[in-house]
Amino acid sequence: MNGPNRIVILTGAGISAESGIDTFRSAGGLWEQHRIEDVATPEGFARDPDLVLGFYDMRRAALATVTPNPAHEALARLERAFSGELLLVTQNVDDLHERGGSAQVLHMHGELNSALCTCCETRSPWRATLIDRPPCPVCRAPGLRPDVVWFGEMPYQMGRIYRALETCDLFVSIGTSGAVYPAAGFVQEARSSGARTLELNLEPSEGSRLFHETRLGPASQLVPSWVEEVLQTGI
Ligand code: OAD
């Protein structure tokens, strides 16, 4: 029986690695250079806001110097050509999926190019620095923070993601270590709803054994060939 063909894709830092953005947990990755509790928790922000605002200002500036790679572009091709339903969920705070051509991207961990007002809670598109305490475009208070989900905070749009996982036929995880929940639990959620599960990653991840199939290699090669396969033969 042919179902409606629904795919949920989860991406992580590995899909942007070949564009030149450091992953978190590799040797020399971001979490070796900075302590999570200092730059990725509400407590760290309260303790030393300048350190945190400077860290995200630096990452936002670095983002402007990189470009999408063939993996981002292949997922955009899939979005345009796939006749079923596709939900692209990313843990990444970069905008390389959008610049690679994807129109619909769910950023569950927020975005570097967005600021969140700690006074009125409005999320505003943001390209400039935050360390100089600019006013919120809506309420004018100088209380903007990076619109990035920190440890201890709730990721965005979890209800929508779980609904899609419950009804999908295929769940694909790309370039993520499976170390951070809730995203690390998506594979089990999809499996228990009867979906096939596929992992595309450079090396076996913490969750590899949970997938029906794992393909190992760089995302810039694995993702385009998987996308061609889906567009030619279906899921
Ligand atoms: P990690 O740094 O934990 O994992 C990156 C994964 O990508 C690893 O499994 C690598 O083997 C793989 N990888 C590296 N280069 C690759 C390539 N060229 N092609 C394919 N795969 C490659 O990053 P995430 O899993 O995204 O959250 O981390 C999840 C979350 O932890 C992040 O969103 C961030 C971080 O703390 C928050 O800050 C809330």
Q: What is the CATH number of the domain that holds 231?
A: 3.40.50.1220
Query: Is there a single domain that holds both residue 61 and residue 84?
Result: no
Instruction: Specify the pLDDT at position 2.
Output: 52
Residues 92 and 166 reside in one and the same domain = yes
Q: Specify whether 143 is located in the same domain as 183.
A: no
The pLDDT score that the predictor gives to residue 149 is 98
Ligand 1 atom at shortest distance from the alpha carbon of 178: 25
Residues 235 and 196 in one domain: yes
Choose one of 148, 175, 201: the last residue of a domain: 148
Q: Give me ligand 1 centre to Cα 175, in Å.
A: 6
- 80 lies in the same domain as 190: yes
10 Å Cβ neighbour count for 43? Answer: 11
Q: Does 210 share its domain with 140?
A: no
Range of the domain at 211: 1-20+68-109+155-235
Q: Are residues 210 and 133 in the same domain?
A: no
Instruction: Collect the ranges in the chain with pLDDT lower than 70.
Output: 1-4
- Do 123 and 233 have their domain in common? no
pLDDT of residue 235: 82
Question: Quick one: pLDDT at residue 229?
Answer: 96
**232 and 194, same structural domain?**
yes
Residues 117 and 178 in one domain: no
Q: Which of 122, 148, 174 is the last residue of a domain?
A: 148
Inter-residue long-range contacts of 153-159, CB under 8 Å, 24+ positions, other chains counted: 153/42, 155/108, 155/109, 155/182, 155/183, 156/106, 156/107, 156/108, 156/109, 156/110, 157/106, 157/108, 158/108, 158/182
Q: Are residues 96 and 73 in the same domain?
A: yes
> How far does the centroid of ligand 1 lie from the alpha carbon of residue 30, in Å?
10
pTM to 2 decimal places:
0.96
How many domains are contained in the chain?
A: 2
pLDDT number for residue 27: 79
Q: Any catalytic annotation for residue 109?
A: yes
Q: Which ligand 1 atom sits nearest the alpha carbon of residue 12?
A: 26
Same domain, 14 and 130: no
Which of 23, 45, 59, 96 to mutate for ligand 1's pocket (most ligand atoms within 8 Å of CB)? 23
* Ligand 1 atom closest to the CA of 26, numbered from 1: 2
Whose CA is closest to 108, among 70, 168, 148? 148
Coil/strand/helix, residue 136: coil
Cα separation, 95 vs 59, whole angstroms: 12
Could you tell me the CATH number of the domain that includes residue 26? 3.30.1600.10
With a Cβ cut-off of 6 Å, ligand 1 is lined by: 12-14, 17-18, 23-26, 29, 40, 91, 109, 149, 175-177, 179-180, 201-203, 205, 218-219
- Please give the distance, rounded to the nearest whole angstrom, from the Cα atom of residue 183 to the centre of ligand 1: 11
